[in-house]
Amino acid sequence: MRSKFLTSAVRVLSLLLLVSATCALAQERRPVHFSGLFNDYSPTNPAITGSPWEMHGQWSMDVNLERGTADFAADMTMSGYGTTATGAPDAIQGGQAAHTHHLKLTNKKITWSIAGCPVYAKPVPTEGFQINGTVSLITGNGGVAPFETTPPSSTLQICVLGGSEVPFSNVTLVFGGPAALKHFGSQPIHGVVRIQPTEPFEHKW
């Protein structure tokens, strides 16, 4: 009887250890989560109808360290200005042609470097990472963005940057392709990191 009890106890203990190990492994595999805001404007560009545009939005990124990939998503509002009698942008007539965009960049390889990222004035960010690639989704007011091809061909570079005090403090979005040429421009769109990992994580700087 005692032998059977010990055998059962060993089996239960083994099962508990297996479940604990599985849970720990699953916890380790959770993506590292970032999120924040961006607020910027595009310069006046005769080639881009409605410019200059004001851009405000929020973004999130899930980093899978095991695969070395990340998923990025953002939603934003944009609006322009009316013009004066001479055709110059008139800030008094703000909020013109207001609309929204939703963006996704899915399963893109992480580059553990800030080489090629937009340059900041002092103090200069010293570390970070980036993802680049063709957008998975880009909408206009919930539909297909009028400037985009089907399937999408616009590209997007996302840089998450920081320094010695806050390793991940800044984010930039840089468009290429139709999105840059016809709507957003090719200049960096600047933002801030609000939520980042609370503890250091291993990466390949």
Residue 52 lies in a domain: yes
Task: Supply the pLDDT for residue 137.
Answer: 98
Q: Are residue 23 and residue 78 in the same domain, yes or no?
A: no
Q: Are residue 80 and residue 149 in the same domain, yes or no?
A: yes
Buried b (16+ CB within 10 A) or exposed e, 88-97: ebeeeeeeee
- Count how many domains the chain has: 2
Task: Supply the pLDDT for residue 26.
Answer: 47
Residue 122 lies in a domain: yes
Residue 151 lies in a domain: yes
Region 11-26: mean pLDDT is: 49
For a pLDDT cut of 90, what percent of the chain falls above it? Answer: 68
End-to-end, the C-alpha distance of the chain in Å comes to 59
Q: Are residue 103 and residue 11 in the same domain, yes or no?
A: no
| Residue with the larger pLDDT of the pair 46 and 106 | 106
Give the whole-angstrom CA distance, residue 9 versus residue 14: 8
pLDDT at residue 28 is higher than 60 = no
Query: pLDDT tens, 133-183?
Result: 999 999 999 999 999 999 999 999 999 999 999 999 999 999 999 999 999
Residue 200 lies in a domain: no
Residue 202 lies in a domain: no
Region 82-96: mean pLDDT is: 85
Structure tokens belonging to residue 115: 């080489």
Residue 203 lies in a domain: no
Q: Are residue 44 and residue 6 in the same domain, yes or no?
A: no
* Residue 42: how many other CB atoms lie within 10 Å: 20
* Backbone φ, ψ for residue 18 (5° rounding): -65, -45
Domain that includes residue 81, residue range: 31-195
Q: Are residue 37 and residue 66 in the same domain, yes or no?
A: yes
Q: Are residue 115 and residue 156 in the same domain, yes or no?
A: yes
pLDDT at residue 5 is higher than 70 = no
pLDDT at residue 62 is higher than 50 = yes
Q: Are residue 65 and residue 1 in the same domain, yes or no?
A: no
- What rounded mean pLDDT belongs to the chain? 87
Q: Are residue 26 and residue 116 in the same domain, yes or no?
A: no
Q: What is the pTM of this model?
A: 0.82
Task: Supply the pLDDT for residue 93.
Answer: 86
| Residue with the larger pLDDT of the pair 5 and 87 | 87
Contact partners, residue 157, CB within 8 Å, separation at least 6: 116, 117, 130, 131, 132, 172, 173, 174, 176
* Backbone φ, ψ for residue 71 (5° rounding): -115, 130
What is the enclosing helix (H) or strand (E) of 178? helix 178-179
Contact yes or no for 138/103 (Cβ under 8 A): yes
Q: Are residue 15 and residue 41 in the same domain, yes or no?
A: no
